[in-house]
Amino acid sequence: MSAPKIAIIVGTRPEIIKMAPLVRACAERDVPYLLLHTGQHYSYEMDGVFFEELGLPVPHANLSVGSGTQAYQVGAIVTGITPIYEREKPDWVLVEGDTNSVLAAGLAAHKLGLKVGHVEAGLRSYDRTMPEEINRLVTDQFSDHLYAPTEKSRGILRGEGVTDDRIFVTGNTVVDELYLQRPRAEARGALERFGVSPKRYALATVHRAENTDHEGRLRSIVAGLSQAAAATGLEVLAAVHPRTTQRMEKLGLAWGDHVRALPPLPYLDFLGLHAQAALTMSDSGGLQEEACCLGVPCVTLRDNTERPESVDVGANVLVGADTDRIVSGAKAMLGKSGGWANPFGDGRAAHHILDALLSA
């Protein structure tokens, strides 16, 4: 029998990074694939540069949906990707994570009777005010294969009534990419270019709507990062999402002393900085995983996390948006040795996923 044809869907920066190992695994194993891009991120800095850095092929199609309301993005993706599915006739559609691209591309495939595999299935924050939570809940319900990164994720899916024949524990593909790209990232000399020394700085990001769109939370986080820098003696490098910059300008907010704002960074530059940071402070889900794998203590600027494994092994602490908790969390985590076990897989998640799919 010939290998099935796989459509690999990406739409945002994290999806490009986390699906890159699957693109390479398909190429290595002569599995026919399509790389389809929804274009949910539309700037070169947030999108195109990642294809170039990671050596990925030009997508077979790019819907270029750009920004807009959730309803617009979901509708535009379903409308744009359905005729591509009908023309190309993939046997499987693989989506990753919890974005509008995941929900829309997966739903369109399911409606056409195509098999859907959800990479990074079974993650839960148990906060249904988060759009991401709804996206992953719904996608897990209609997917034929659920590729859970950890045993904890498998347990969550079982508890929701998903049968064992649909669940495969594979690890997380972010580990695959991190292991592959870390030597390249550290060879680029990002520390020298940004004028920092190993373990003498913290790396921060703030991008989630729950923080950027809530004035009180954003003000508290900005103050917390500055005060944490003063309390720890670390310079904070804040790689700022465009949405965060726009909100801060609108509110008349400025970063305080010891916080240096950076533009959105290419993946390899960011990874090079992340690998040698003393501390990570972020509201990103993916960076909680990455910090855990790199041995960098993480302070998560959220009230909940869908990556509890990082908290369980002592790599991560939740502090919300409270200024005092941000400072105390930074001081407490700075003393961590980084010797915890990595709970997110062996760096071969993409091949484990293909093994499961090809044996279906």
List the catalytic residues.
Answer: 207
Q: Identity (one letter) of the amino acid at 84?
A: I
Among 9, 75, 69, smallest CA distance to 39 is for 9
CB atoms within 10 A of CB 14: 23
The three-point CA angle 93-12-118 to 5° equals 30
Bridge partner list, 7: 34, 93
Beta carbons of 324 and 273 less than 8 angstroms apart: no
Rounded CA separation 82/111 (Å): 9
- Please, where are the H alpha helices in 29-150? 49-53, 70-88, 100-111, 131-142
Rounded CA separation 240/41 (Å): 15
167-169/145-148 β-pairing:
parallel
Strand order in the sheet with 6-10: 61-62, 33-37, 6-10, 92-96, 115-119, 145-148, 167-169
Longest dimension (CA), the chain: 63
Rounded CA separation 91/116 (Å): 9
CB atoms within 10 A of CB 84: 18
CB atoms within 10 A of CB 129: 8
Q: Give the three-class secondary structure for 191.
A: helix
* 3-class SS letters over 235-260: EEEEECCHHHHHHHHHHCCCCCCCEE
